[in-house]
Amino acid sequence: MSGWKILVVDDDPAIASILDPYLHEAGFRLFVARNGTEALALAASERPEIVLLDLRIPRPQGLEVLRRLRANGNPASVIVVSGLSDEVDRVVGLELGADDYVTKPFSPREVVARVKAVLRRRLNGQRTEAPSMASEETGPLEFDRLCIDPAAYTVHFDGKPIPLTRTEFRILAMLAKNASKVLTREQLIAGFAERSDLIETRTLDSHVAHLRRKIQEGVPGRELIRTIRGIGYRFDAP
């Protein structure tokens, strides 16, 4: 991972100062932005692999920066940073396409570990997934008018796209490939083997909740993802 770029977006200069030696030791090139305008400009010019994004930055705030990054097709992986009381913002950040989150106060070593985990996930995503889960060698999964394409990371119903984050798509593909079977939370987390040591059950449940809402909006009148209490989730094919 030597030479990879990380953009730290925080209006507190002490944060970058604290993280700098740890990220440098891990082989990362560090860029710093103090507000949303600087963050968007540096993200466009430097094309960092990772953006560590504080949600409470000024002009514009973190969630708006994340929206614009995703709307502009910026491929950077984003780790959102929030206070302990900002659970709603963390959830919204995940829904908008953040890859992970950390809460303040944090350990610099934890941040480095999460950055490395997200990068491993990014690299592993370019290779073939486990055959029992969402293999990119698998052709499109078609269920009546619903089409899930693991190779293209796209979902369509009646030809209309259902926008999902990468994490949401991977969960859906795992469930759909095992349609009508119950997958435990542990099995789903294992599908993210490159970061399974950092994913928590509550984080998985948040992703599934957002995924279920988007699928219900895109496929009206059908409940395709069911919670099996105390066990996990099941995809009921239409």
Contacts (Cβ under 8 Å, ≥6 apart) of 175: 183, 188, 225, 233, 234, 235
| C-beta of residue 79 within 8 angstroms of C-beta of residue 52 | yes
HSE toward the beta carbon, residue 117, CA cutoff 13 A = 19
pLDDT, averaged across the chain: 84
| C-beta of residue 170 within 8 angstroms of C-beta of residue 211 | no
- Tokens of residue 208, six digits: 């599934």
How many angstroms from the chain centroid is the CA of residue 237? 25
Q: What is the residue extent of each domain of the chain?
A: 5-124, 141-235
pLDDT in tens, 5-47: 999 999 999 999 999 999 999 999 999 999 999 999 999 999 9
Q: What's the sign of the alpha-carbon dihedral 200, 206, 208, 211?
A: negative
119: confidence class by pLDDT, cuts 50, 70, 90: confident
C-alpha to C-alpha distance for 62 and 86, rounded to whole angstroms: 12
What's 64's DSSP letter? Answer: H
Query: Which amino acid, one-letter code, is at 208?
Result: V
pLDDT at 126 over 60: no
Q: What is the pLDDT of residue 34?
A: 96
Average pLDDT over residues 42-71: 93
Query: pTM of the full predicted structure?
Result: 0.56
C-alpha to C-alpha distance for 185 and 128, rounded to whole angstroms: 22
pLDDT at 106 over 80: yes
**CA triple 102-171-227, angle to 5 deg:** 100
pLDDT at 163 over 60: yes
Q: Say which residue, 86 or 144, is predicted with more confidence.
A: 144
CATH of 5-124, one of 3.40.50.720, 3.40.50.2300, 2.30.110.10, 3.90.1180.10: 3.40.50.2300
Give the strand order in the sheet containing 5-9.
29-33, 5-9, 50-54, 77-83, 100-104
Q: Which residue has the tokens 């349609």?
A: 179
Question: pLDDT exceeding 70 applies to what percent of the chain?
Answer: 87
pLDDT at 70 over 50: yes
The topology under which CATH files domain 141-235 is: Arc Repressor Mutant, subunit A (1.10.10)
Q: What is the pLDDT of residue 197?
A: 39
pLDDT at 194 over 70: no
